[in-house]
Amino acid sequence: MRVIKRVLVWGLGLPVVLLLLLIAAGLISALWRERGTRAALRPADGLYVPAYDTQIFIQRRGDSHAQAVVFISGTAGWSGLWQASMAQVVRLGYQAIAVDMPPFGFSVPAPSGNYSKLEQGRRLLAVLNALGLPQVTIVAHSIGAAPVMEAVFSAPQRFHGLVLIDPALGLDGPQTDGADTSLQAALRHPTIARPVAAILTNPLLTASLLRRVISEKDRATPDWLVIYQRPLQLRGASAGVGQWLPEVIAPRGQQRSDDLELYGRLSMPVTLIWGETDTITPMTQGVHLGRLIPSARLVTIPRAGHAPQIEEPELFATALSDALNRVDPKSTP
């Protein structure tokens, strides 16, 4: 994503000695703060489910026999960010499930260190299998939409409908052969990726990074910062993020979610909720995606940037209710 690329470019422009000092400080800071365990830090009412090659942490609310709405976060997000929306959908008669897609949140890091959208899509399907959910509606934000689309195109019968919030799919860019760019290749090396991740996950920068992606800067409140920062205390948190970094800057490649034609075949209800002033995934991407998907409805949230659920929670809640009503007309706001 653009914010991460800017950090990398900025770092490469520093004098070598200063850069080395910054890297050392970042690593030392990570070692000092990453002391927590999952048992001690995770929400007590959550649970782990086996998923493909790891154990994934979820939070679940409502009647387990009701139609499921599954929430997937974007960069640095985890299930704790969705509490208000989970409560909302439970009131509407659904069960709500928020998933910590590794390496974020409290899920166990994947042993392979592979966080490509293809592998993440497999993990998502494995979560649905472990929970015995034959069909769900997905609510996905930002880069969290990419593994969702991999799962959707792999097993479309498992999905009742989609709600994509400022999805970062990169479909407006040229298609490549899927090979690593030079920057991606560099980030495959832990000696490079780990210091970058240590800087990006430093709680001292959480507020600054959140403000960079939202338009309504005052919405980066202390309460939201505490939620974002909670998993950053886990042992090895920055190491996992370092393994994930090459994927966030991957160009459009050759996976299912990169194939424009497949979007034209989607028949399930799809709602695109977009922050009107988003600079990370601009509205032009929403218009483009809306044209690709025959069943898509594009809903814009005034004033909001890349995280309308944080910036304009009331307008977002209305948009979410309307989106779910498209999927299940029996639901009521």
- Residue 198's pLDDT is what? 87
Q: How far apart are CA 241 and CA 142, in angstroms?
A: 16
- Residue 18's pLDDT is what? 55
- Residue 15's pLDDT is what? 55
- Residue 32's pLDDT is what? 74
Q: How far apart are CA 105 and CA 153, in angstroms?
A: 26
Question: Which CATH number is associated with domain 2-173+181-327?
Answer: 3.40.50.1820
SS3 33: helix
Listed in sequence order, the residues at least 6 apart from 149 whose beta carbon sits closer than 8 Å to its beta carbon are 117, 121, 169, 256, 257
Side chain identity, residue 292: L
- Residue 203's pLDDT is what? 87
Q: Residue 110's closest CA among 126, 133, 93?
A: 126
Residue 138's H or E segment, with its range, is: strand 136-141
CB 292 within 8 A of CB 263: yes
CB 184 within 8 A of CB 246: yes
- Residue 333's pLDDT is what? 40
Q: How far apart are CA 80 and CA 228, in angstroms?
A: 8
Side chain identity, residue 237: A
CB 80 within 8 A of CB 71: no
Q: Residue 294's closest CA among 258, 262, 326, 253?
A: 262
How remote is the C-alpha of 2 from its chain's centroid? 15
Centre a 10 Å sphere on the Cβ of residue 243 and count the other Cβ atoms it contains.
22
What is the C-alpha end-to-end distance of the chain, expressed in Å? 34
* Cα dist from 248 to 1, 117, 144, 284, whole Å: 6, 9, 10, 20
Q: How far apart are CA 210 and CA 195, in angstroms?
A: 20
- Residue 331's pLDDT is what? 47
pLDDT in tens, the chain (333 residues): 555 555 554 444 555 555 556 666 666 677 778 999 999 999 999 999 999 999 999 999 999 999 999 999 999 999 999 999 999 999 999 999 999 999 999 999 999 999 999 999 999 999 999 999 999 999 999 999 999 999 999 999 999 999 999 999 999 989 999 999 999 999 999 988 888 898 889 888 899 999 999 999 999 999 999 999 999 999 999 999 999 999 999 999 999 999 999 999 999 999 999 999 999 999 999 999 999 999 999 999 999 999 999 999 999 999 999 999 999 875 444
- Residue 19's pLDDT is what? 56
CB 333 within 8 A of CB 287: no
Task: Give just the sign of the alpha carbon dihedral 164, 169, 170, 172.
Answer: negative
- Write the Ramachandran bin of 52: left for phi over 0, alpha for psi from -120 to 50, otherwise beta: left
Q: Taking the model in full, what pTM does it have?
A: 0.92
